Structure 1
Amino acid sequence: MELLERGYELQLLAAALKEACAHAGRIALVNGEAGIGKTSLVDRFIATSGQAMRILKGHCDALFTPSPLGPLHDIARQTGGRLLAQLQDEAPRTAVFSTVLDLLDEPSRPTLLVIEDIHWADEATLDLIRFLSRRIAQTKVLLILTYRDDEVGARHPLRVLLGDLATSGATLRIEPPRLTIDAVRSLIAGRPFDPEALYRQTRGNPFFITEILSWAERGLPKTVRDAVLARAAKLTPAGRYVLEAAAVIGSRMDHIAVERVLGGAAEGLAECIRAGLLEATQGGISFRHELVREAVLTDLEPGRRRELHRSALDGLRTSGAGRIDLAQLAQFAEGAGDGDAVLEFGPAAARAAVAAGAHRAAAAQYLRVLGFAGDRPPAERAQLLEAYAEECAIIDDLAEASRARQEAIELWRQAGDRLKEGENLAALAWPLVRSGRNAAAEEASRRAIEVLEALPPTRQLAAAYRIQAHLRMLHRDREPAVRWGRKAIALATRLGDEATIAAAENVVGSAMLAFGDERGRPHLDRSLALARRAGLDSLVGLAHSNLGSCYGEQYQFAEAERHLADGIAYTAERDLDHANHYMRSWLALTRFYQGRWDEAGDIAVSLVERPHVGAVSRIMALIALGRVRTRRGDPGAAAVLDEALEQVLQTDTLQRLAPARAARAEAAWLAGEPDRAMAEATAVYDLAIRHRHPWHAGEFSFWRWRAGDTIAAPGWAAPPFVLQIRGDWHRAAEAWHRLGCPYEQARALADGDQPAQLAALEIFDRLGAAPAAAMLRQRMRGEGVRRIPRGPRASTRRNPLGLTRREVEILGCLAEGLSNGRIGDRLHVSSKTVDHHVSSVLAKLGAATRGEAVRIAHEQNLMAKNGEGPTAKWGSPPDVRERRGA
């Protein structure tokens, strides 16, 4: 059928290919509903523009549990060589991915890589795409990814990847629209169909139109499914068997599957191809469209479906050639109700998924197996539960990880295996503490040590000591954390357990460095060296994470920034998202204290809006975002800080409680509510004093003093806070300047003489700290100071209504009529980040709509002209001030 109304989309692909040929690789996201013509568009592009390219194609299949790296196996069969050998040998994923990059980046000619239906992709395939996306800009590769956007919900695994790709300048989105009524008339071409009725029924979906136009009888079927099944009903029994068997196996069948499952049904296969239900491909056969397969599957009776699954299982399990798809065999076994086969293929499929880094697929395989393992011995079921819990912890399904561990513990107890019981109790503490259930984690850790200490010394006991040390460190119990960590190191050294030594050295160093004790640094350096030598990537990431966050907690932001930058690069290279997210949350806090509020806000928003971010990373990002909004006077600060406190209260640790309460104390003070500021500052004060944490104790003492309390700050508290409380604002300001904290420097100067206050105003205005600047101006007027600057100096008049630099950019995009998606593409941020900025712009301008915001901007001369910034003087006309509540 003719491809209509796709000229614009083909032009976009051609332009992307031209850039790729110039060694500026691109990614094209081709998305839309099922049947919109994504594959047809790509095929036409290849047919018209692909002569000079090397073309590689891979497909993701619609399996309940996808096969790990399925598209990569397709590509390897096309290229052969080292990639195929690595996949067959189950080589490490990092080596496989590097080989793919080398294979694609061929200097002599560009490569077009197409991966179809990534909404069905397994986790390892998504990681491969992420790996390539971070490196594609320096290659001659055009990567086309197709997916159904109507199947990608908020918690779909693909959603995170799409968010990452949205921030890349190498990415473009192509969304083929539905056909117009004119296109429908053209496709009918004189056949006895009513174009208006056909258009209404199909709503312009090309596949639906095609199916109905293929209907042999006059009149419109009620549904597209009816059209497909009516055509299938005309098949002979042999053809019907082939069609149904193919539907059970999947969207595509290679030659081996055709031979082993369909046997001698060549006539039935040919009939299905003639009927336009199946089509021959280079590798075997496939459904002309996945919607055809779905229609056939939904029409199968349960008994018939079980028979077909049994046939597929029996045919493929005896295949002596080609790659055995363990995930597919496990699915056939489950569909056939064959528990023994599920227990045979399911664990093997899970292990293969782990080797490929497809941890979600591995967890799904173990869950499938556990459904058939009810009558197995307790020890066997416990081992399966352990493996399942490990995978759930990796993918941040912490509730399920905890449940599986608890069930395994009970089974090991029934089996009388105290060593395994203790090992799993210690392991249980980790998902519990990561999900904020610290009290339950403490209980599990204590019980683990009790059980394991009653046995001879083991590696399990050393690991349990390390877990207890980690819990103590998270609570900022410095001395107990160091004591338990050294105990773990001593036992692990005796037993030659380098992994536990490295982990325990990390804990000891972090426990010391978090309190400013530089003697902790050699421990962290040793942990880092041991982890690198042993190839423990996650522990390397943790070392960078703890170095960055500990220095950040001690206000050594230049040092924190260095370690965070190294760690973020390291974990991004290896897709260690948990550590990467946490370091990015601390980078947001670092940027916040450095006065780089635009960057801090963008980093924090990008984390907060992601669906799969661990609790601790989300908490710190919320705090960073809340503090930025508070200091700017932006809307939404209270809601963000409320959410942060709600999550923090579940952890009950100083490490999380202190930043949240300090942020809320500042927000209350700037809102003119000293009583609430006092309540927030005293809520965790005693805990900070008991732990002798200099910076937390210093900040809470400061806010209590600000709120009118006469309590003296302890002498060991952080000097900048102590100096300001004692009235030595000059030395306090110098200390904050040395630390690189301009807002805190201005806050100290504001307590000084008139020249100091004027200097503070200049800093506040430069930062956009409207609430603090307004409070200081009011105080200066009350003190009789004359000639108080009314607003930002000439260097900051670009934002006369309090807009940040990024908000001025957003306002310019609104004036161009750009959607949030197109603004995000231009500024390399996500649509949700744009939405946050737009809301802030509307609030600051007092505008109800985007159009009104643009009108006010033109009235106030906010728009840049000829590359220059706006020239309006500081201040708003009365109507604008009234709308803003001034």
Structure 2
Amino acid sequence: MSIAVPRLVGREREFAEVSAALDVPAAVVFVQGEAGVGKTRLVDEALAQRERPGRVLRTACPALLQPFTLGPLVDALRIAVDAGADHSLSALAGDLRPLFPEWAEWLPPMPEPADDPAMARHRVFRAVTELLDLLAVELLVVEDVHWADEATLEFLLLLACGPPPRPGILLTYRPEDVPRDSLLPRLTTAQLPHGRSVRIALEPLPLDDVARMVSSMLGGETVSGAFAAFLLERTAGLPLAVEESMRLMWNRGDLVRRGDAWARHRITEIDVPPTVRDAVLARAAGLGDAARAALRAAAVLTETSSESTVLAVMSGDPAGRISGLAEAVASGLLAEDAAGMVSFRHMLACLAIYEAIPMPERRAMHLRASRALADASPAPLAQLTRHAKEGGDAKAWGAYAELSADRALESGDGSTALVVLHDLLVHGTPAAGDVVRLTDKYPFGLLSGHERYAELLAALRRVVDSGAASPAEEAEIRFQIARLLTQMEAFEDARSEMERALPGLGHNPPKAARAAMYLGLLSYGTSTPARELLHWLRQASRIPTDAMSEADRLSMVVGLASGLLVLGEEDGWAEAAKIGDDAATTAERMAVSAGKLNVGEMAVIWGRHDEARRALMTVIDLAARHGFDKDDRLARATLALLDWVSGDWEGLAERAKELAGDEELLQPVSRLAPATVVGLLQAARGERDQAEQTLRAVLRRADELGGAESSIGPASALAGIRLAAGDVEDVLRLTEAPIAFLAGKGNWIWATDLAQVRVEALLAAGRTAEAIELIDAFERGIEERHAPAPRAALAVCHALVLALDEPLAAAAAFEQAAAAWQAIPRPYDTLRSREAQASCLVRAGATESGVALLTEVFAALSELGARATAERVRGELRAHGAPVKRPAWKGAVARTATGSRRASSTSSGCWSRGGPTGRSATCWCCRPRPSPGTWRRRCAR
């Protein structure tokens, strides 16, 4: 895909008015607007669709320091006139010889010179008019007439006031660039005695039209509302600035897909397109020294500022400053409201001027700005922070930055606090004690982007490695390094740093308690046995929390709940119930969001889908209200996995692929789950080679990252593909390390998909004793736990063993497993267990019942979109003499028989015809079974 030329948007009314006027003989149309507002584009579109026949002569006035007489008209006529043709011109045309010396051979002789200069000019005007008549010009278009010479403006005024027949006239100009002594105002306000006069004033585009314009450049695809608002703020809605900014971002690969909309990697930054920069600097160059000083002062201030503040930042004598500011405002580059507040018309112009200021002058101006704003009430802390930093005042920078972060956190604006504190920690030189205090305030949960993670980690390590920190300060900074490494998903390194930090935290009991909690939490991606991690969690839970802040107490609850659930401890759900859905402060809300993320992820692993979806939707709601963008993406990544197991596959492939590629907000381990879902969907559609390629890449990446739990999903999925291909040895190799990891750790809650595929491979390899040993360990590992998914998987494992010698008993066992899967619900696993049940029935001699069940399974798999499995079942049916039609596959989409999208899998139970009922309902887990393709709603089971 390439970026396209934008459509003309937001100009429907203006386009209609110009088009209507151009169809009227001798009409005069004025189109005014600032640079980049789209005057030329409007003229292009109107001329392209002009219905009135006749010749159009189009020209433009160049921005010359000394425009020459009738220059734009001379240039246009020189091109339009065929000098070799036989022209019938009056003697008056001889006055054109000075303008067209190259036409000397065919122009009439020069008439006697006029005594009166005004008469001489009038004769030239009449000669030019005669030439226009000769060419049969129906419409004269002159652009940028604010740069026209006096003679051109006089000619246009004469032509516009002349009687028909005469050409129509279309003029464009910038009001802000019209010289004070120009004749243009006289032309635009003249009462024309003949013809129609139309005046069009183009304004910048509003938000909706900016979004429409950008969308038209991206093939009609949606752009995020935040991105459109960002562009509007930076460009003031000027179409040229919007277009050039988009092209610059596109060429630099700065645009990304997020969900179903285009957005930008970093929405706080934008570069000035060269065309915009050059235009702004050219306009500024035409002003006086004092006016340029006013522009530089306003650019340094950036924000809308009072006249007195702008004057204080300028250099020079007071009287000169005032006149310079007045000239800058009159130029149109600056705007001033009724209250005397001054600002640039758009941010790109401000940036263009700012970047052109020499660095020494820029620093001095920032210091003057800092002094000018110091006594303001309330103190503009964000501006004071910036001016102190850019002016080189490190002490003031640190003080203002911390105050600014405090105010932002108090108001719930964690994103601003993060930006300010991150800048100070990374680019400043705070002392070790200041680093301890600042990192305690740092909203780690909002941090995203590999570059910013790396910057902060390097800054904190510099302080530790410098030797300037006391032992207590070093311990506290290491504690923060461990937190940061956890967010970077470097779990082993995080554990090492936290172990080094803990002994030195005796002076800070709340932080020591949190360190112990973190050591219990650092299970994911480490080989530490569960019993050791539980020891840390239990120890942390016994530490009094009376002296802690509410945010720290909430973090302890979140940590305990998360750690216990990761380790498969049932009492983790009681702790999870203590986490509310919102909180009062930014720090508390971030703790709630983190807790709900962890609960949502673990609820999927446990097979508690209701709790999973509620928790994840709470995170998405918090993110929308408080700007927790990273948490939103993390929640959606887990939702992708939940939608896969729940059978909600419509649009899932696209969502999962987009999440798997989100390198800005998601860390590598967090991208593995949606990437695995991509591979699983490919396998379900029958794209086995592509699925295998995808999943092997995901597994390699998981192994590189060192997160053993991360390898379980892709290893299980890939093993399933290889098992279907009959490669038992590859399955055993793929599952050996992950199953050994879980056995060594003693955490079997994660074994749902892994245990099934390994048991089946062990049995196929004749290693029955190992399979039974694995099943026994799995059963012991999940006993006394309300974990529906592992328990359903355990039921499948038992059925697999029975299927070796007791097919009828195995059929009953697979039926129980299917009921367990459907109660979660996991429809695809339900159907696979039903398929196994049917095969066992056939083996036991109950062929009719088996084939009937296979027929139902085939219909439901087809409806679900599981093409590969459905085709396999279709082959079994054909082998038993029960041919079925191949479905018209449209991809992996879950739909009802009537074509409507199936209800979202948000509650347990099974699909039934009759809605919420008891066990007697017609569904697979509650006999009698329905006919194919009729599952619409869930029963209450």
For 2:455, which of 389, 394, 400 is the aligned residue? 400
Q: Deviations over 1:231-266 (max 9, x none)?
A: 544544333332333333337543342343345422
What is the SS of the residue equivalent to 2:323? helix
CA drift at 1:339: 3.5
Matched letter for residue 435 of structure 1? M
Which residue of 2 is the match for residue 52 of structure 1? Answer: none
For residues 531 and 364 of structure 2, the distance between their equivalents in structure 1, rounded to whole angstroms, comes to 65
Unaligned runs of 5+ in 2: 1-5, 16-33, 43-204, 212-223, 230-235, 264-271, 780-790, 804-809, 843-849, 897-941
Superposition pairs of residues 451-530 of structure 1, within 5 angstroms: 451-452=504-505, 455=506, 458-472=509-523, 475=526, 477-493=529-545, 495=547, 499-514=551-566, 517-528=569-580
Which residue of 2 is the match for residue 789 of structure 1? Answer: 884
For 1:427, which of 472, 480, 486 is the aligned residue? 480
For 1:585, which of 618, 622, 637 is the aligned residue? 637
| Structure 2 residue 304 is the aligned partner of structure 1 residue 304 | no
Superposition pairs of residues 345-744 of structure 1, within 5 angstroms: 345-355=400-410, 361-366=416-421, 368-369=423-424, 374=429, 377-380=431-434, 383=437, 390=444, 393=447, 397-410=452-465, 414-418=468-472, 420-452=473-505, 455=506, 458-472=509-523, 475=526, 477-493=529-545, 495=547, 499-514=551-566, 517-528=569-580, 536-610=588-662, 611-634=664-687, 637-638=691-692, 640-670=694-724, 673-694=727-748, 696-697=750-751, 699-707=753-761, 708-709=764-765, 710=767, 711-712=770-771, 713-715=774-776, 716-717=778-779, 718=791, 719-726=794-801, 727=803, 728=810, 729-744=814-829
CA contact (8 A) 1:466 1:500 kept: no
For residues 437 and 682 of structure 1, the distance between their equivalents in structure 2, rounded to whole angstroms, comes to 24
What is the SS of the residue equivalent to 1:472? coil
Matched letter for residue 385 of structure 2? A
CA drift at 1:443: 0.6
Matched letter for residue 722 of structure 1? C
For residues 291 and 572 of structure 1, the distance between their equivalents in structure 2, rounded to whole angstroms, comes to 29
Q: Deviations over 1:322-351 (max 9, x none)?
A: 554333333333443344443443433444
CA contact (8 A) 2:436 2:476 kept: no
| Structure 2 residue 392 is the aligned partner of structure 1 residue 337 | yes
For residues 241 and 654 of structure 1, the distance between their equivalents in structure 2, rounded to whole angstroms, comes to 61
Superposition pairs of residues 29-48 of structure 1, within 5 angstroms: 36-37=36-37
CA drift at 1:468: 0.6
Cα distance 1:39–1:445, how it changes in 2: closer, same or farther (>3 A)? farther
CA contact (8 A) 2:537 2:563 kept: no
For residues 533 and 373 of structure 1, the distance between their equivalents in structure 2, rounded to whole angstroms, comes to 27
Matched letter for residue 771 of structure 1? A
- State the Cα RMSD in Å: 4.6
CA drift at 1:439: 1.5
Superposition pairs of residues 106-255 of structure 1, within 5 angstroms: 148-150=245-247, 152=249, 229=281, 232-250=284-302, 252-255=304-307
What is the SS of the residue equivalent to 2:659? helix
Matched letter for residue 516 of structure 2? Y
What is the SS of the residue equivalent to 2:578? helix
For residues 856 and 895 of structure 2, the distance between their equivalents in structure 1, rounded to whole angstroms, comes to 26
| Structure 2 residue 858 is the aligned partner of structure 1 residue 761 | yes
CA contact (8 A) 1:549 1:586 kept: yes
Q: Deviations over 1:500-537 (max 9, x none)?
A: 44433434444444566543322222344997899822
For residues 677 and 35 of structure 1, the distance between their equivalents in structure 2, rounded to whole angstroms, comes to 66
Cα distance 1:508–1:303, how it changes in 2: closer, same or farther (>3 A)? closer
Cα distance 1:259–1:163, how it changes in 2: closer, same or farther (>3 A)? farther
For residues 895 and 38 of structure 2, the distance between their equivalents in structure 1, rounded to whole angstroms, comes to 36
Matched letter for residue 463 of structure 1? R
What is the SS of the residue equivalent to 2:891? coil
Cα distance 1:11–1:697, how it changes in 2: closer, same or farther (>3 A)? same
Which residue of 1 is the match for residue 324 of structure 2? Answer: 268
What is the SS of the residue equivalent to 1:285? strand
CA contact (8 A) 2:479 2:501 kept: yes
Unaligned runs of 5+ in 1: 15-33, 43-111, 119-127, 134-142, 168-206, 209-221, 793-799, 809-886
Compare 695-704 and 365-374 and name the one that shifted more: 365-374
Which residue of 1 is the match for residue 938 of structure 2? Answer: none
CA contact (8 A) 2:715 2:734 kept: yes
| Structure 2 residue 16 is the aligned partner of structure 1 residue 9 | no
Matched letter for residue 471 of structure 1? L
What is the SS of the residue equivalent to 1:622? helix
For residues 403 and 652 of structure 1, the distance between their equivalents in structure 2, rounded to whole angstroms, comes to 22
CA contact (8 A) 1:330 1:342 kept: yes
CA contact (8 A) 2:638 2:673 kept: yes
Which residue of 1 is the match for residue 141 of structure 2? Answer: none
Cα distance 1:392–1:533, how it changes in 2: closer, same or farther (>3 A)? closer
What is the SS of the residue equivalent to 1:414? coil
For residues 246 and 558 of structure 1, the distance between their equivalents in structure 2, rounded to whole angstroms, comes to 55
Give me the TM-score of the superposition, normalised by structure 2. Answer: 0.58
Alignment size in residue pairs: 629
For residues 544 and 400 of structure 1, the distance between their equivalents in structure 2, rounded to whole angstroms, comes to 28
Matched letter for residue 459 of structure 2? A
Cα distance 1:429–1:747, how it changes in 2: closer, same or farther (>3 A)? same
For residues 114 and 643 of structure 1, the distance between their equivalents in structure 2, rounded to whole angstroms, comes to 42
Q: Deviations over 1:586-616 (max 9, x none)?
A: 2222221122211543542453344322444
Cα distance 1:164–1:576, how it changes in 2: closer, same or farther (>3 A)? farther
Matched letter for residue 305 of structure 1? R
CA drift at 1:297: 4.0
Give me the TM-score of the superposition, normalised by structure 1. Answer: 0.61
CA contact (8 A) 1:768 1:804 kept: yes
What is the SS of the residue equivalent to 1:546? helix
CA drift at 1:464: 0.9
Cα distance 1:659–1:789, how it changes in 2: closer, same or farther (>3 A)? same
CA contact (8 A) 1:478 1:511 kept: no
CA contact (8 A) 2:495 2:522 kept: yes
Cα distance 1:13–1:723, how it changes in 2: closer, same or farther (>3 A)? farther
Cα distance 1:540–1:774, how it changes in 2: closer, same or farther (>3 A)? same
CA contact (8 A) 1:382 1:408 kept: no
Which residue of 2 is the match for residue 108 of structure 1? Answer: none
What is the SS of the residue equivalent to 2:342? strand
Matched letter for residue 302 of structure 1? M
CA contact (8 A) 1:405 1:424 kept: yes
CA drift at 1:115: 11
Rg: which structure is higher? Answer: 2
For 1:775, which of 854, 861, 872 is the aligned residue? 872
Cα distance 1:252–1:579, how it changes in 2: closer, same or farther (>3 A)? closer
| Structure 2 residue 834 is the aligned partner of structure 1 residue 749 | yes
CA contact (8 A) 1:592 1:624 kept: yes
Cα distance 1:392–1:541, how it changes in 2: closer, same or farther (>3 A)? closer
Aligned sequence identity (%):
22
For residues 445 and 560 of structure 2, the distance between their equivalents in structure 1, rounded to whole angstroms, comes to 27
CA contact (8 A) 1:386 1:408 kept: no
Q: Deviations over 1:776-821 (max 9, x none)?
A: 444566xx422232423xxxxxxx144345999xxxxxxxxxxxxx
For residues 530 and 6 of structure 1, the distance between their equivalents in structure 2, rounded to whole angstroms, comes to 44
